[in-house]
Amino acid sequence: MDFSFSRDQLLFQDNVRSFLINEVTPERIRELWQSDNGRSDQLWAQLVELGLTALTVPEAQDGMGMNELDFVLIAQECGYAGLPEPLVETMLVGVPLLAALDEQHASFKQKWLSRVAEGRARLAVSEPGNPLVSDAHVADLLLLAHGDEVHALERDAVRLTRNESVDPSRQLFQVEWTPTPATCVASGEQGRRLWAAAFNRGALASAAQLLGLAKRMVDLAVDYTFERKQFGKPVGSFQAVKHLMANVAVQIEFAKGPLYRAAYAIAEQQPEQDVFVSHAKLATAEAAMLAAKNTIQAHGAMGYTWEVDLHLFMKRAWVLDKVWGDRGLHKGRIRAALFDGTPALGAGSTFLTRQ
Amino acid sequence: MDLTYTPAQQAFRAEARTWLAANVPSEPLQSFDTEAGFAQHRAWEARLNEGRWGMVTWPTELGGRGCDLIEWLIFEEEYYRCGAPARVNQNGIFLLGPTLMEYGTPEQKARFLPRMATGEDIWAQAWSEPGAGSDMAAIRSKAERVGDHYVINGQKTWSTRAVWADWAFGIFRTDAQSQRHHGLTFILLPLDTPGITVRPIPQLNGLPGFAEIFFDDVKVPVENALGGEGMGWHVAMSTAGFERGLLLRSPARFQETAKRLVQLYLANREQADRDPAIGEAVMRAWLDAEAYTLSTYMTASQLVQGGKIGPESSTNKIFWSELDQRMHDTAMSILGLRGELLPHAPAAGDVGHWLEGFLFAQAGPIYAGTNEIQRNIIAERMLGMPRA
């Protein structure tokens, strides 16, 4: 029993954090908002150069072969930085979905996965139940759902209509396309399985980013409450303001365990992963939503402006709360397992699995 | 990361389970806040010690098993799983024991630890005073050095277990000129010393779970000071750290409560679901008990690898105490009209224990540093916010 990350995993997290703090500054995010497509080839190239686009690509396709547990801390840092580029979704959803296609698609997989690892291609994946696809405009290959089927189309085979989001970092598109036997790469039971796995990975991806975002919002608010003085004192010295922040800190602290257990459960293909993932998404979303509410309050009127950086992170949190299953969906999965299933309950049951 | 138990850990669990199954009293003991119940619980401590299950984290030469924190968690899981008696000795095991091991002289360790382990000495806390609750540094009780004794005068209050305990530990002002957290000394004293008056205070359940202690020229030898004269605040903070942090509250108790709550809900689902919030609260109880367990295992894993417990441990006390309150609130909502009945009331059936737990849960956010104080600590020490 060892519920901790390895030295290497933590060191890698530190390295990625340093890179993101230096390179993905709020100023740079605001620049991206002004650009034509909201994305930066230069920033993506930097991510490629660091090897980040190869992390979860299998070694057979020129990648690093890392799993969800290796990547979860990186995803958290991407959330903390508010990284607009779809690195986390690509590594945790798109790449594993491609990699799980069966052997009749071996050369297709080889081609696209090695391109992603080398930074020569980007992926977009449709989220089951969401009519819009994020980052479809910069994707070279789109993985789209048609019922239970998985279809793969190159960008010139689809028509995109942009839909603006409250989060200017988000790039959302309606995708018009025609499913054909030639575009279908998985169907039936296999398709169902792939989409179910993609859904859990998408939920994990958003959960990890939500935890990072919650932490970032608190850090920004704490800084602000030092600077802002009223009644002759920093507003952060008032207990009412302290308690707003402490309540978020408690939620963040107790969302970590569920998040890391979910990553472990997916990496180990545990049969309970649905419930563990839903717990992770719920706990991190609640931490991030409380962070959004309490940190805008701590910023006072400044928090309601476009100028202060808080909204870069707050708006991402609002959006990630709803993607890959909103809280209602995840509560429903947990409720069903708890009340209609036969879960292991009580002391000593937490790490029992039905392997 | 490896979230599976090793064969050795599984064997340890099996050994604990087997011993507990053979030794846990089949009938529940009376409350340890009654004289008869206190004696029953003391006898249970002795029995645990005979099986070397009393102080599993203590070194083997002191009657423990030298368990690491993961094994301690496993033991606690088995302990709560089989419904074993509450630990009357917990001030000793979790608070004073570790402090003695850190600050005690070899003589003090030899004198106090073995008798603590057997339950021959049951310890009470003597921290708070009428004017020093959340603001513990406002302590006024004095211990004046006269030759090789301290002469203690003053008053302590909310002293848990003091009514029937043998000894008490607390901090006293040894430097009369000192202010706040300076000039305090951590002193161990027998409660039958002349000049000590213990006045029981009945708690919400009517039983005297704590007491006031009055000191009137009480003579205590100087060798009963722990950790050096004037170091009391430092020593006490380490004790309080144990109380607030990982060690006092293992997750097992909350997991068992969550389990019973799920069962209570399922057995009364139709009536409970008239308020849709109840099902949600039950689900949350289970999730939060899981989250607390996961967090404890994360902390234990870090400590086992030589890491240190950080200021984030202040979040623990808030989390478990408010979880415990929410769980019992929910149970009382499900029980409805039955909830008010005391356990021995003829119509209470087998649900009276929920009321006991509900009453006890009211204390969680108050003792060991109120949750308001904990939130200040989180804001200032963990988040680095400016002090008032």
Per residue in A316-349, pLDDT (tens digit) is 999 999 999 999 999 999 999 999 988 889 999 9
> Would the CB atoms of B301 and A3 count as touching at under 8 Å?
yes
Contact (CB<8Å) A5/B1 = yes
| A121 touching B (Cβ < 8 Å) | no
Rounded CA gap, B225 and B189, in Å?
9
Closest chain A residue to B307 measured between Cα atoms? A4
At which residue do the structure tokens 């789109």 appear? A142
Indicate yes or no: CB of B294 within 8 angstroms of CB of A260. yes
B104 vs B229: CA distance, rounded Å:
13
How far is A204 from chain B, CA to nearest CA, in Å?
16
CATH architecture of structural domain A190-340: Up-down Bundle (1.20)
Tell me which chain A residues have a C-beta less than 8 angstroms from the C-beta of B14. none
What 8-state DSSP symbol labels residue B170?
Answer: E
* 303-342 of A, contacting B, C-beta below 8 A: 331, 334-335, 338-339
**A6·B1 Cβ contact <8 A:** yes
Of B6, B282, B388, the CB nearest to A237: B388
**Short-list A261, A259, A205, A213, CA closest to A93:** A205
Contact present, A47 and A85 (Cβ < 8 Å): yes
Across the interface, whether the CB atoms of B315 and A253 are under 8 A apart is answered yes
B278: nearest CA partner in chain A: A335
Starting at the edge strand that comes first in sequence, how are the strands of the sheet with A172-176 ordered?
Answer: A132-134, A172-176, A159-163
Query: Which residues in B lie closer than 8 A to residue A236 (C-beta atoms)?
Result: 379, 385-386
Closest residue in A to B318 (Cα) is: A250
Q: What's chain A's average pLDDT? A: 97
Cβ(B287)–Cβ(B251) under 8 Å? Answer: no
Instruction: Tell me the pLDDT band of A16, cut-offs 50, 70 and 90.
Output: very high
Q: Per mean pLDDT, which range of A144-158, A264-278, A285-299, B86-100 is the poorest?
A: B86-100
Q: Say if the Cβ atoms of B293 and A243 lie within 8 Å.
A: no
Min distance A293 CA to chain B CA atoms (Å): 17
Q: At what angle do helices A239-267 and B314-335 cross, to 10 degrees?
A: 80
Q: Which helix (H) or strand (E) holds B129?
A: none
Name which of A136, A94, A135 is nearest A117 in CA terms. A94
Question: Is A269 an interface residue toward B (CB < 8 Å)?
Answer: no
In whole angstroms, how far apart are CA B6 and each of A35, A122, A346, B13, B71?
54, 42, 20, 11, 11
Residue A249: list chain B partners with CB under 8 A: 312, 315, 378-379, 382-383
Is CATH 3.40.50.10860 what the domain over B245-382 is classified as, yes or no?
A: no
Does B291 contact A255 at a Cβ distance shorter than 8 Å?
A: yes
- Per run of 10 residues, the mean pLDDT along chain B (length 388 residues) is 97 98 96 97 97 93 91 96 95 88 94 95 95 92 97 97 96 95 96 98 95 98 97 84 62 97 97 96 98 95 86 89 98 95 89 93 92 94 93
> CB of A18 within 8 Å of any CB in chain B?
no
**Burial (CB count within 10 angstroms: exposed 0-12, middle 13-18, buried 19+), residue A117:** buried
Nearest residue to B376 via CA among B296, B310, B315, B324 = B315
To the nearest whole angstrom, how far is the Cα of A167 from the nearest Cα of chain B? 27
Q: Do B13 and A279 touch (CB under 8 A)?
A: no
State the best of B375, B380, B387 to mutate against chain A, taking most chain A CBs within 10 Å. Answer: B375
pLDDT at A355 over 50: no
Residue of chain B with shortest Cα separation from A334: B283
Q: Which chain A residues are Cβ-neighbours of B302 within 8 angstroms?
A: 4
Asked whether the beta carbons of B234 and B103 are under 8 A apart, the reply is no
> Above pLDDT 90, what percent of chain A?
97
CB within 8 Å: B279 and A339: yes
The active-site residue, picked from B243, B312, B340, B372, is B243
Query: Catalytic site residue B243?
Result: yes
Say what the pLDDT of residue B250 is: 87
- 3-state SS of chain A is CECCCCHHHHHHHHHHHHHHHHHCCHHHHHHHHHCCCCCCHHHHHHHHHCCHHHCCCCHHHCCCCCCHHHHHHHHHHHHHHCCCCCHHHHHHHHHHHHHCCCHHHHHHHHHHHHHHHHCCCCEEECCCCCCEEECHHHCCEEEEEECCEEEEEEHHHCEEEEECCCCCCCCEEEEECCCCCCCEEECHHHHHHHHHHHHHHHHHHHHHHHHHHHHHHHHHHHHHHHHCEECCEEHHHCHHHHHHHHHHHHHHHHHHHHHHHHHHHHHCCCCCHHHHHHHHHHHHHHHHHHHHHHHHHHHHHHHHCCCCCHHHHHHHHHHHCCCCCCHHHHHHHHHHHHHHCCCCCCCCCCCCCCC
Q: In chain B, whose CA is at the least distance from the CA of A6?
A: B1
CATH 2.40.110.10 domain position(s) in chain B: 123-236
Can you give the residue ranges of every domain in chain A?
190-340
Q: Which residue of B has its CA nearest to A69?
A: B1
Contacts of range A231-234, beta carbons closer than 8 Å, 24 or more positions apart: A233/B386, A234/B386
> What values do phi and psi take at B150, rounded to 5?
-100, 140
Burial grade of A218 (CB within 10 A; 0-12, 13-18, 19 or more) = buried
Return the pLDDT at B5: 97
Coil/strand/helix, residue B167: strand
Q: Does A223 touch chain B (CB under 8 A)?
A: no
Instruction: Note the pLDDT of residue B61.
Output: 87
Kindly provide the ipTM of the predicted complex, given to two decimals.
0.96
Listed in order, the ranges of chain B carrying CATH 1.20.140.10 are: 245-382
Q: Inspect the interface and report whether the beta carbons of B315 and A250 lie closer than 8 Å.
A: yes
CB–CB contact A282 B287 (8 Å): yes
Can you point out the beta strands (E) in chain B? 123-126, 142-146, 149-160, 167-173, 184-190, 196-201, 210-221, 225-226
Structure confidence at residue B240 (pLDDT): 60
- Token duo for residue A335: 């409720």
A238 interface with B at CB cutoff 8 Å: yes
pTM reported for the whole predicted model: 0.96
Are residues A4 and B305, on separate chains, in Cβ contact within 8 Å? Answer: yes
Homologous superfamily of domain range B123-236: Butyryl-CoA Dehydrogenase, subunit A, domain 2 (2.40.110.10)
Chain A hits for B265, CB-CB cut-off 8 Å, are: 339
Give the type of residue at B221.
P
Around Cβ B263, how many Cβ atoms within 10 Å? 13
- Which residue in A2, A9, A220, A227 has the most chain B C-beta atoms within 10 A of its own C-beta, making it the best mutation to test that interface? A2
Cα–Cα dist B387/B381, whole Å = 10
Cα–Cα distance for residue pair A332/A320, rounded to 1 Å: 18
Give chain A positions within 8 Å (CB) of B77.
Answer: 347-348
